[in-house]
Chains A and B, each alone.
Chain A
Amino acid sequence: MLIVLFAIGLLFLSGFLALSVGRNGGVANLLGGCGAFSGSLIGLVEAVEILASGRTEQIRWAWSVPYGSFLVRIDALSALFLIPIFILCAVCGLYGYGYMKSFCGCKNLGAYWFFFNGLAASMAMVAVAANGVLFLMSWEIMALCSFFLVTFEHEEGSVQRAGWIYLAATHIGTAFLLVLFLMLGHVAGNGSLDFNAFLGSHGKMGGYADVVFLLAVIGFGSKAGFVPFHIWLPEAHPAAPSPVSAVMSGVMLKTGIYGILRILTFLGPPHLWWGYLLLGIGLVSGILGVLMAIAQHDLKRLLAYHSVENVGIIALGLGLGILGVVWHLPVLAVLGFGGGLLHVINHALFKGLLFMGAGSVQHGAGTRQIDLLGGLIKRMPWTCVTFLIGAVAICGLPPLNGFVSEFLIYMGGFHGVGLARSAAAGAVLIIGLALIGGLAAACFTKAFGVVFLGEPRSPYGADAHEAGLSMRVAMLLLAAGCVGIGLFSPWVVKLMGHAVAESGAIPYEAVQGFLAPASSALLKVAVVSGCFLFVVLVLCLIRAKILSGRTSSSEGTWDCGYFRPTARMQYTASSFAQPVTAMFEAILRTRSHTPSFSDPRGAPVFFPDAALFESHTEDFFLKSVYAPLFMAVKRFALKFRFLQAGRVQFYILYIALTLFVLLIWCLR
């Protein structure tokens, strides 16, 4: 416990130190990067140890805030979320050191590292806070730090817009959380917002439990990126510097998942509709997320929508887990929670890796527009390899880590199908996961294939350069993590036992009992995967050997007899995705501007001028739900504009009136 607190302190301190030398960009960059890296590594050691041992530690310090107490507690569930937080913050510290160098001199790097390390520390605080007030304060610091990081390049109009959307979304979410904690405190009754007090109030919950759960799904779900609260993700992630996108998408979203799980432990036995709700949200988020991702042209926006998809997969796991608890089917509960929690860690690794890859592309090639890139494999070989590993992992393909967590959730689904009660849920889960998996493969073959393979489609791709050493090392570390969890999955799953036990309120021994068959299956997966990699290697060597003595010549790509194909004739990302976007046209509503080949009177033009084709897929919720809603709010608010007259006398009058009304209300 103390070590984790020390790590959090170190993160805050190094942020302040970097800020104080902010004018000197190089020193600030070094201080901040080292602080993030070392602080996170220190914390990671204890988090892993606590997860393995499953013990709970808490510390209470005096704190003179009303209803607040400085109560921090680490249990297996906190530790499980601390692990990805610390891993990704350490690696992003390393990556950021190289990435931010290019801003040295023109931007205040001290401020960047102050907010980055503050974000890392506050996320860790969220995971260990055991008092409502402390939790909300950490939550708010986390939101503000990430807001300032998102708006780091605030000179650009699109970044400002993204920042505002994010700020509004996060605070609306926090408003729900405020009500949630007040309600929990009200039920607990003794005027304390300590989590320990909530834990003892299962029995008194009654009808409040449903309301609290709904508040948690909305409040925490808006942070996690559940559809329809996801609209800030595709705006904020592309706007932020890449290491920040990696941390936000990889772990900050997961604090929302942590919040839901933590609240579940306060509510006692879950209700049936909670499970169905999460299952439904997971399905909608998963499918809509991946469909929207396929239609994107901006690499980071594509990845942001994939975070919606992966959070959906996590929600599918948790929903299945809750259903298992409700129906007293521990095998469903263990596989659902186990798969969901493991996916939290896995997604942090591969999504962090992919955002770093996207950052390197932006850094090296100068654009994130997929259709302008191509052929980067020749200029950025390391980024290409690591991006490929991330892409295979996120599609849930063996032998990497994404397969392991999806395997657990699938197994839960198959177990569910076998019982009449849970058959519908299981079948929906399997169909959903399979469809998501297939579409994710479509999306990432597109992203990887168009960005890294083929010929450069514009000068951007042609002039690209490889990322710096620290960025390459950071990406390689995460890629190694993806392979490692894939090949050592049985041990990783065993390590998670305590956290699964806590989230499902199932005895630890029972959890291990139900995880054992999955572990033994995963052991075989690992063995077959290991053999697979070995045979691939052997076959590559054989292939090289038999080809070595033969004539192998080099020609242009076969284009069906066409004499001189150019790079512009390659398939683009938009054309690659077109069959899928057309198939789901009803949902995606992709609009395209096709060039016209007729003159204004409608007669065909036989020698048309230069033509332009564009397609846009706007977020349905942003465009058709939130935009009209907030416009209506704005119109309503404008009616009270007269109150803001700009004269101080009036404002003092308002204060006096308010005090007067309050006095009357008190004397009533």
Chain B
Amino acid sequence: MNFGRLALPVLALALAPLLPGIINRTKAVIGGRDGQPLLQLYYDLAKLVRKGAVYSHTTSWVFRAGPVVGLVSAVAVLAVLPLGGTSAPAGFSGDLIFMAYMLGLMRFFTVIAALDTGSAFEGMGASREVQFSALAEPVLLMALAALSLAARGSGASLGGGLFSLSAIYSHLSISTWMRSGPALLLVAGALWVVFLAENSRIPFDDPNTHLELTMIHEVMVLDHSGPDFAMILYGASLKMWILGALLAGLLVPVRSGNIWIDTGACVFGLFVLAVLTGVVESVMARLRLTRVPQLLVSAGFLSTFALALIIWS
């Protein structure tokens, strides 16, 4: 294990709060507003950590444990998350399942913390969250299965690192794109849908709506305050970093062998992804809630088609 690998989680921990900042800046520029500073989330986090907290009489330790478990789950995923061609510090065969289920644990605790408040609004958000994520999970795993096959097809043996995110992403190069470009494009589409849905972005959820009734993620964390809320915001930005890294690592197939260039390219890809998200949010409205499952299921078909293309071509 070299120094560069250990630096990956540190990089994620340091830069993740930048992503929401970039999205908001993009939206501000397109909307012709002055907007908030790029580093707004850092300021928010610093402010929230120094504050006290207000709790509802109804809540119990579950409400207080939710943000902690959620944040640490996201951090645990960083241990297996590669960045472009740079391998993760603790990758292993099957770590993509571990990643998906750790994010599931994060969601589980966010949801029960929301239910702990006894508020109808938070219950509503929680209910939608579990519904959409149940559909997003098969999409994510199918997309990763397709990627693992595409990467293996490059002739290099993945050996014991089969189905490890690090092995998959280090073998995804320009030549993989040349060989199975259409399939990879479908996978990217599916991952893009998962990225937007799981991070509660438009068109699935509007983080800026003024009405609690229409939100999903934001309404679940209404009652959190102070350091608890800081952990939630930080955890959410890490989740965005994680799912974004899966997509950026695919779309930016720079595999020069130089750890600085590869990692830098992927981080740049992540920032571009954030800009794209901002553009989508500026030009689109949120979907009707009943339409969301249809979009997620279509993303499932995308990834399944991609898998079929890779296997039978």
Contacts and interface: CB of A to CB of B under 8 A. Distances in A.
Nearest to A385: B61
Interface stretch (B22-30, B33-41, B107-115, B255-263): B107-115
Contacts of A532: 72-73, 76
Interface in A449-488: 449-450, 452-455
B152 A418 contact: yes
Interface in B53-71: 53-62, 64-65, 68-69, 71
B92 A520 contact: yes
Contact of A570 (B123, B141, B149): B123
B68 A539 contact: yes
A420 B312 contact: yes
A442 B134 CA distance: 8
A556 B56 contact: yes
A558 B58 CA distance: 11
A364 interface: no
Interface stretch (B176-184, B220-228, B240-248, B269-277): B220-228
Interface in B73-111: 73, 75-76, 79-80, 90, 92-95, 97-98, 100-102, 104-105, 107-108, 111
B92 A583 contact: no
A577 B105 CA distance: 19
The bracket for how many chain A residues form the interface is 35 or more
Interface residues of B, number: 85
B196 interface: no
B118 A445 contact: no
A557 B56 contact: yes
A441 B56 contact: no
B287 to A, nearest CB: 14
Contacts of A448: 112
A444 B107 CA distance: 12
A413 to B, nearest CB: 8
A560 B97 CA distance: 38
A438 B121 contact: no
Contact of B120 (A392, A569, A579): A569
Contact of B222 (A403, A521, A558): A558
Contacts of B104: 395, 397, 437-438, 441
B111 A445 contact: yes
B115 A450 contact: yes
Contact of B123 (A398, A411, A575): A575
A514 interface: no
Contacts of B223: 557-558
Given A420-B311, A528-B79, A375 B72 contact: no
23 contacts: A397-B105, A407-B98, A437-B137, A438-B134, A441-B108, A441-B133, A449-B115, A518-B93, A521-B95, A527-B90, A528-B79, A528-B90, A531-B76, A532-B72, A547-B227, A553-B52, A555-B54, A555-B57, A557-B59, A557-B119, A571-B120, A575-B123, A576-B127
Interface of B: 49, 51-62, 64-65, 68-69, 71-73, 75-76, 79-80, 90, 92-95, 97-98, 100-102, 104-105, 107-108, 111-112, 115-124, 126-128, 130-131, 133-138, 140-142, 145, 148-149, 152, 160, 162-163, 212, 222-223, 226-228, 231, 289, 293, 300, 304, 307, 311-312
